[in-house]
Structure 1
Amino acid sequence: MYYFTGSVPEYDRIALRGAPTLAGLTSAPETVIWRRPASGQMAGHIWAPELHRIDGRWYVYFAAGDSDDVFRIRTYILESPLADPLDPAGWTLRGQLLTEWDGFTLDSTTFAHRGRRYLVWAQSEPEIAVNTSLYIARMATPWSLATKPTRITTPTRSWEIQGYRVNEGPAVLVRNGRVFLTFSASATDARYCMGLLTASANADLLDRDSWVKTADPIFVTSPETARYGPGHNSFTVAEDGVTDVLVFHARDYRDITGDPLYDPNRHARVQKLYWHPDGTPLFGVPVGDGGPIVRLSPGRHDFVRHDDAGVLVIARAPRDLAATQFRFEAHDGGTEVIRSVDRPDLHVRIDGPAVRLDPTPTAFRRSWNRHGVTIEAEGGGYLHAGHGTITVAPEPTTFRLS
């Protein structure tokens, strides 16, 4: 079962959805589990709820302002003992989550690692001239902290200080002997983006020196796919229980009228999370609308990609994920066309002996075997991998899809 929650456009309530598939969340009905009071504390902006299952109970961590100051944002907790979080009868307000300072606090997330539970959150620390930094502490209970906070990142790099100096929206994924912590930075318009912190799984996570920040952002606006300001992500797994999935929100337009905070169209989106051979995550670009995305592999660590000129070549473990991603789309007479993901206005086209991206597609047919697929051009010949390029040849190459 998948559950979903997020800020609603009115910033006045907390709603949940549930479905047995990720796609099912799109049309799943919403259940309102809590509404803000008419006035006073928590009667202002209601932001960024997160749902967690801890020790047999459900918890929602959320941020709320007050009616006389909607930006007096603090973190609060709802609790339900019921098995079904969609049952509103079980939810009660546990209270405020108190941190070291009584200041602007939001975007709390929690995770368990090596027998200990941690909280990571964004906060405005009085002595630091930034909007928010990220902090971590060990938890005593799901509603209280056992240790003082450790600041693990503060916005200093150019991509973290566009419009506002912000580190917020933490999310944790433990894989391959490391703890990966994504976060969001800058103003909530097209400049919003995601960064990455990494720690060894054996490290003291409360030690600031255990965390290394990747120098550049790892997920940014893509005008080509019309996804602007991706951020405040989380992680889940696909229905197979194995494939990692990135969940994030982004707009499908760049220009905003007025304050981007009140533009409600940062819609939730999901896409597959890939991995480098060294075990670090490979995010690519926020992909546009369309069907399933695949990578074509003629060898174990080889992938078909397009180069800067649009020619299809073979690359070993390329770090540019986006150039290796394609969509097979239905075409006339049972054929398919192959669309580039990061350049969605272009398709795979046979151009003499070469194969390249072009606005006008070639139609293909796929045939499956136990090793993968062969791809036959409608006019004859097969896609063939050899000598670092993709050509058309009488003999097919079998491509593995991933």
Structure 2
Amino acid sequence: MSPRPRPRLLLLAAALLGLVLGLLPTATVPAAAASPAAAQPRAAAAAAGTFRNPLNTGPDPFMTHWNGAYYLTTTQGDSIKMWRSPSLGTLLTADPVTVWTDTDPSRNRNMWAPEFYRFGDRWYLYYTADDGIDEHHRLYVLESERDDPAGPYHFKAKLTPPNHADDFAIDAGVLQLGGRLYLAYSGINQYQHNGLNIAPMSNPYTVSGNAVALDAAGGCPEVREGPEFLYRNG
């Protein structure tokens, strides 16, 4: 490894660079080169305080890059749709594919926050759904028929920690740590109605132990939702 440059040498290099740049002619852009027509929509949007999501307009987005393409899901309501594109720039205009609908009336309404992960050679899609009553939201998981995040999928299991077997639960996320899996979600605990919980899993579709409440800090005293995990050096 080469030695780290000393501060004096860095200052000298910076001074020389500044001198060289000062001798170069300044590049200018004629006023006519800037298109007033192109600038008007941006100015109007800024004045109105609006913002257009460049990827998708739906809530609860989850995205994975796999095998040369980006796959995106968002909350759609009574179905789960997925967008696929080789570029982030074309996700917004990509045609969605419906990867799941359900005929079971206990879980075919208000499908929220789908997330999908690859374990082995199958994909597992986690989501929450109810029967039309918000308090009846529970967690479910689908399993792909082949090694493709876009499915097709079949229903695999309901995810229920033993100590919250019949409690409100939404926003599932999966943690992989030390060769084990953990289910994190937002649901009832001793801290709040929409609090963060985490439970061990024996495989991608089975909760194997009680959920533990996380007294997560934050600016809202009532709601903790949408747990996600960041992996260091991962």
> What range describes the TM-score normalised by the shorter chain of this pair?
0.5 to 0.7
Give 1:61 deviation, angstroms: 0.5
Match of 1:258 in 2: none
Q: Would the alpha carbon gap of residues 71 and 43 (structure 1) be closer, same or farther in structure 2, given more than 3 Å must change?
A: farther
Match of 1:59 in 2: 124
What's the secondary structure of 1:93's corresponding residue?
Answer: strand
Question: How well do the aligned residues superpose, as a CA RMSD in angstroms?
Answer: 2.0
Q: Distance in 2 between matches of 1:65 and 1:71?
A: 8
Match of 2:202 in 1: 140
Match of 2:167 in 1: 103
Match of 1:27 in 2: 93
Contact 2:70 2:86 (C-alpha < 8 Å) held by counterparts? yes
| 1:142-185 Cα distance to aligned partner (Å, 9 max, x none) | 11122322212256x5x213xxx101101101116xxxxxxxxx
Q: Distance in 2 between matches of 1:65 and 1:174?
A: 31
What's the secondary structure of 1:45's corresponding residue?
Answer: strand
| TM-score when normalising by structure 2 | 0.64
Contact 2:159 2:206 (C-alpha < 8 Å) held by counterparts? yes
* 2:75 is the counterpart of 1:7: yes
Give 1:132 deviation, angstroms: 1.3
TM alignment of 1:108-119, pairs within 5 A: 108-119=172-183
Letter in 1 for 2:127: F
Contact 1:44 1:71 (C-alpha < 8 Å) held by counterparts? no
Q: Distance in 2 between matches of 1:71 and 1:28?
A: 34
* 2:147 is the counterpart of 1:83: yes
* 2:232 is the counterpart of 1:168: no
Structure whose CA Rg is larger: 2
Q: What is the aligned residue count?
A: 164
TM alignment of 1:351-370, pairs within 5 A: none
What's the secondary structure of 2:230's corresponding residue?
Answer: strand
TM alignment of 1:3-402, pairs within 5 A: 3-8=71-76, 11-37=77-103, 40-67=105-132, 69-87=133-151, 90-99=152-161, 100-101=163-164, 102-125=166-189, 128=190, 130-154=192-216, 159-161=219-221, 165-175=222-232
| 1:251-306 Cα distance to aligned partner (Å, 9 max, x none) | xxxxxxxxxxxxxxxxxxxxxxxxxxxxxxxxxxxxxxxxxxxxxxxxxxxxxxxx
5+ residue gaps, structure 2: 1-68
Match of 2:8 in 1: none
Contact 1:153 1:167 (C-alpha < 8 Å) held by counterparts? no
| 1:47-73 Cα distance to aligned partner (Å, 9 max, x none) | 111111112111111000114x24310
Q: Distance in 2 between matches of 1:20 and 1:111?
A: 27
Counting helix residues as a fraction of each chain, which structure ranks higher? 2
Q: Would the alpha carbon gap of residues 131 and 12 (structure 1) be closer, same or farther in structure 2, given more than 3 Å must change?
A: same
Higher relative contact order (CA 8 A, sep 6+): 2
Q: Distance in 1 between matches of 2:159 and 2:125?
A: 11
Q: Distance in 1 between matches of 2:91 and 2:215?
A: 33
Counting strand residues as a fraction of each chain, which structure ranks higher? 1
